[in-house]
Amino acid sequence: MIKTFDPNNMLSKITVDKVGVEERVARFQTRSIKNESKLQGLKMVLNMIDLTTLEGKDTPGKVQQMCYKAQHLHDVQPDLPTVAAVCVYPSMVSVARKALGNSSVKIASVSTAFPSGQSTREIKISDTKFAVDQGADEIDMVISRGKFLAGEYAFVFDEIAAIKEACGKARLKVILETGELSTLDNVRLASDIAIHAGADFIKTSTGKIQPAATMQVTYTMLMAIKDYYDKTGIMVGMKPAGGISTSKLALHNLVMVKEVLGNAWLTNEWFRFGASSLANDVLMQIMKSTTGLYQSSDYFSID
């Protein structure tokens, strides 16, 4: 059943103080993650990555190579997990499906006229259905930021609910494109709308707009998830995407998730990183912690 918008019950009207958020985030960044915690954390990060290619020039060859990398991150090192998923355009889903076979690596597809979302609802729904039919396990949709900024929250809500319906069994990630929402108050409001409209995940960015997944924005969204969980007992996932390219920043994000939502969220069922270059930096750190040496980036494949 498609959900209907009820602003009184769905919008928390919570305001967010930017200075306070910056201070809180700085605290996460002073956490010291060493030795076995670091290695465990780095492996968790690898297993939470949505390995992504979203370019006009993507080819089946590129997607195939990425799908291989997704399952063989660095075979010289045993006991490495696979990434969580590959993330591609709808036209590449069938290629990825074939390349991944029966692997546990999921296929996420962007849809709804990604990245701008400037199209009709009919096209967005058929875009989504196409991706699901092609074999996508997860759909990453974008919200209509123009409508949101114009105050048409019901429109934004109904659209998300309609896409959720079109997803069927596929899990829905809702991209807020926080770089276009301009304030943390808006980020919070958009998070509340997306969660109530049926998002399985909320996601910061398309990766096409800067700033993308800042820790301030991710923190604000995590608080929305926490409040919803406290109220309903329902877990919602989080995916920061864009701008997280170093192990250190990724570990800081894990710290934040752990301290805001708890260990239950620290699996790829509930937390993802949308990233393309993060994996190799994490691999480099893992090799450093096992061999004691930093290796040249030439030793890490760049599929």
Partner 1 sequence: MAKNTSTKNTAEWNYAASPESTSHIRLEKKYQLFINNEWVSPSSKKYFPSTNPASEEVLAEIAWANDVDVDKAVKAARKAYQEVWSKLSGAERGKYIYRIARMMQERAREFAVIESLDCGKPIRESRDVDVPLACNHFFYYAGWADKLEYAMPHKKPEALGVAGQIIPWNFPLLMAAWKIAPALAAGNTVVLKPAETTSLTALKLAEIIKDSGLPPGVVNIVTGYGDTGAAIVNHPDIDKIAFTGSTNVGKIIQRAIAGTHKKSTLELGGKSANIIFDDAPIDQAVEGIVNGIFFNQGHVCCAGSRLFVQENIAERVIHKLKSRMESLYVGDPLDKNTDIGAINSKEQLETIEKYIRIGKEEGAEIYQSQCAIPSKGYFCRPTLFTGVSQSHVIAQEEIFGPVLTIQTFRTVDEVIQKANNTPYGLAAGVWTDKGSRIFNLTTKLRAGVVWANTYNKFDPVSPFGGYKESGFGREGGVHGLGAYLK
* Sequential DSSP letters for 21-41: HHHHHHHHHT----HHHHHHH
CB 199 within 8 A of CB 230: no
User: Closest Cα partner for 172 from 200, 194, 195?
Assistant: 200
Rule CB under 8 A: choose which of 258, 288, 301, 303 binds partner 1.
258
Minimum distance from residue 127 beta carbon to partner 1 (Å) = 28
Asked if 235 interacts with partner 1 (CB under 8 A), we say no
| Helix or strand run (H / E) with residue 231 | helix 215-232
User: Which of 102/120 has CB closer to partner 1?
Assistant: 102
Active site residue 98: no
Minimum distance from residue 292 beta carbon to partner 1 (Å) = 18
Active site residue 203: yes
Active site residue 137: no
Side-chain half-sphere CA neighbours of 91 within 13 A: 11
User: Closest Cα partner for 157 from 111, 117, 196?
Assistant: 196
Rule CB under 8 A: choose which of 37, 91, 126, 245 binds partner 1.
37
**Residues facing 139 on adjacent strands:** 109, 172
Strand pairing class (49-52; 106-110): unpaired
Asked if 47 interacts with partner 1 (CB under 8 A), we say yes
Catalytic residue among 69, 164, 239, 281: 239
Paired tokens of 261: 């939502």
Side-chain half-sphere CA neighbours of 126 within 13 A: 4
Catalytic residue among 140, 192, 200, 281: 140
Instruction: Tabulate helix, strand, coil % of the chain (nearest 5).
Output: 50, 10, 40
Rule CB under 8 A: choose which of 35, 56, 57, 122 binds partner 1.
35
Distance CA 131, CA 143 (A): 17
Asked if 137 interacts with partner 1 (CB under 8 A), we say no
Rule CB under 8 A: choose which of 66, 87, 215, 223 binds partner 1.
223
**Residues facing 271 on adjacent strands:** 238
Rule CB under 8 A: choose which of 5, 41, 95, 194 binds partner 1.
41
- Interacting residues with partner 1 between 163 and 182 (CB under 8 A): none
Strand pairing class (106-110; 138-142): parallel
The SS3 of residue 139 is strand
Asked if 267 interacts with partner 1 (CB under 8 A), we say yes
Minimum distance from residue 183 beta carbon to partner 1 (Å) = 12
Rule CB under 8 A: choose which of 11, 14, 149, 235 binds partner 1.
14
Q: In this structure, is the dihedral angle defined by the CA atoms of residues 71, 204, 246 and 32, taken in order, positive or negative?
A: negative
Asked if 24 interacts with partner 1 (CB under 8 A), we say yes
Contact region for partner 1 (CB under 8 A) — 21-29, 143-151, 233-241, 283-291?
21-29
Contact region for partner 1 (CB under 8 A) — 99-107, 133-141, 202-210, 281-289?
99-107
Residues involved in catalysis: 140, 203, 239
Residues of this chain that interact with partner 1 (CB under 8 A) are 14-17, 19-21, 23-24, 30-38, 40-41, 43-44, 47, 71-72, 79-82, 84, 100-105, 223, 230, 254, 258-260, 263, 266-268
